[in-house]
Amino acid sequence: MNPELTPPSVTSPTLPKQSSTFMIEPMEGPMTLSNIMENLLKHPGRLLHACQSGNAEVASRLLIITLISLSVFGLLLGSFSGGTQLWASPLKITLGMVVAVLICLPSLYIFSALDGLNARLHQIASVLLSMVALSGLLMLGFAPVIWVFSTSTDSLAFMGFLALIFWIIGMYFGTRLLLGAAGSLGSQSKSYLKLWIIIFTIVTLQMSTSLRPLIGTADELLPTEKRFFVQHWLYFLDSNNPPR
């Protein structure tokens, strides 16, 4: 970790209301995983600067952070059912996210252009990677909470709801990064990007249904019946239905 920041000493009783900015600036310190995680949380603009300067090391470490975070989250989610789910759940969550990112990258590129952003594909890819890495990192932070509940409850619906809430929180901060980065890169509006965020959210939710079960058990590793995620949730909430 970097040396801790010395905070401003505040003596005045009146404090400013807001001090949040997204600055794309050169990164400080070594390219270690811990330093990159710290920058992802505190100064994501520095990582984007490094990625856009062609620093493949930062991009590869962001990818590693994403894969490890989602795998650990998946492992603890899988511990709810145990058995096959201990390896299947992390694998499905990680692969599902990789596939969602790959199929949504072209639309992000187009939608960012519609918002007036003059960026190259690798710039957009680095923003998307940072967004997913941040969401994944937050999921890693929530993993101990998931574990506490997975040892205490038998309710699939509750665990599913909890995982969904944590995913939404992770996505909120990830998309905040995306919109902040777009603003700093010169986008004129953000309406198309907000639309893309909705699309990406739907894709990830559908991915969780297409790769089910992520929680709970089933005879097959992957589902044989195709279903929309809303339909799947409604089916699941009906306690008379067997898990499928």
Partner 1 sequence: MKPQAAILPKLKTLARGEPSLLAAWLREPVTLESVTPLILAIIAGCAAYGFGLGLWRAPLQGVYVAIKMPLLIFFTLLVNGMINGMLGQLLGSGMSFRQTLMACLMSFAIFGLIVGSLSPIIIAMVMDSPRPGQAGASDWYRLFLLFNTAIIAFAGIVANHKLLRLIQSFSGSTAIGWRTLISWLAGNLFVGAQLSYNLRPFFGNPELPVQFLRDDPFDGNFYEAVWTMLSSATDSITSIILWLCLLALILPMLLALKRFNAP
Residues of the shown chain interacting with partner 1 in the complex, contacts defined by CB under 8 A:
1, 4-11, 15-20, 38, 41-42, 134, 137-138, 140-145, 148-149, 151-153, 155, 158, 173
Query: Which residue's CB is nearer to partner 1, number 176 or number 227?
Result: 176
The Cα angle at residue 217 between residues 211 and 223, in degrees rounded to 5? 35
Q: Minimum CB separation from partner 1 for residue 77, in Å?
A: 15
CA 64 to chain centre: 13
Which residue is listed with tokens 């990192």?
137
Q: Minimum CB separation from partner 1 for residue 187, in Å?
A: 16
CA 170 to chain centre: 5
Query: Which residue's CB is nearer to partner 1, number 76 or number 88?
Result: 76
Q: Do 116 and 186 meet the contact criterion of CB atoms below 8 Å apart?
A: yes
Q: Minimum CB separation from partner 1 for residue 192, in Å?
A: 20
**CA–CA separation, 37 vs 44, rounded Å?**
9
Query: Which residue's CB is nearer to partner 1, number 16 or number 30?
Result: 16
Q: Minimum CB separation from partner 1 for residue 203, in Å?
A: 24
Query: Which residue's CB is nearer to partner 1, number 48 or number 138?
Result: 138
The Cα angle at residue 97 between residues 94 and 102, in degrees rounded to 5? 125
